[in-house]
């Protein structure tokens, strides 16, 4: 059996038409996905602003300069349901973090040792994230998020 050095014009035309359709489909998917993400980000921004406003109204002793809104990720939609005990443990963990954070008036009030510990953890984590092909998120936003 011998390999042909060329393909027929008809086969070539079909091949390139298929490739053109695939490229157009990928580009359209990327455009649609970008639009979907922009819509979600706008919705989150509106929801976060509403939550912040309600929090400030409910807690008049908190001023706008002393509060940061942090968004907690909801996670994957197709996960198995968690036990109520595990959910309560996570809620308790989050309450503990909030309690710790509420002791500081602002970022400058955080003890230097805590900041050093955070920086050391990040220094150790960054190379892992850069080198690991399974990690899809390469940039972590430093901007405040919302709950």
Query: Considering its fold, how many domains does the chain have in total?
Result: 2
Q: Are residues 59 and 103 in the same domain?
A: no
Claim to verify: residue 57 and residue 89 sit in the same structural domain:
no
**Domain of residue 42, residue span:** 9-63
Tell me the pTM: 0.44
Q: What percentage of residues in the chain have a pLDDT greater than 90? A: 25
- Comparing C-alpha atoms, which of 91, 89, 96, 53 is closest to residue 72? 91
Maximum separation of any 2 CA atoms in the chain, in Å? 85
Which of 44, 64, 69 lies closest to 145, judged by CA?
69
Task: Output the pLDDT for position 147.
Answer: 44
Model confidence pLDDT, tens digit, residues 118-139: 788 888 887 877 777 666 555 5
Query: Does 91 lie in the same domain as 59?
Result: no
* pLDDT per position as a tens digit, 76-123: 777 788 899 999 999 999 999 888 877 777 777 777 777 788 788 888
């Amino acid at each position: 059996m011998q390999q042909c050095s060329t393909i027929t014009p008809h086969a070539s035309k079909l091949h390139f038409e298929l490739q053109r359709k695939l490229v157009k489909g990928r580009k359209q998917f990327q455009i649609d996905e970008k639009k979907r993400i922009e819509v979600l980000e706008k919705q989150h921004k509106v929801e976060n602003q509403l939550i912040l406003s309600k929090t400030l109204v409910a807690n008049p002793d908190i001023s706008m300069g002393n509060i940061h809104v942090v968004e907690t990720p909801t996670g994957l939609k197709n996960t198995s349901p968690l036990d109520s005990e595990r959910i309560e443990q996570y809620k308790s963990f989050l309450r503990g973090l909030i309690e710790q954070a509420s002791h500081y008036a602002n970022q400058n009030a955080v003890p230097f040792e805590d900041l050093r510990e955070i920086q050391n953890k990040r220094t150790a984590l960054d190379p892992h994230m850069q080198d690991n092909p399974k990690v899809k998120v390469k940039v972590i936003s430093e901007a405040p998020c919302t709950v």
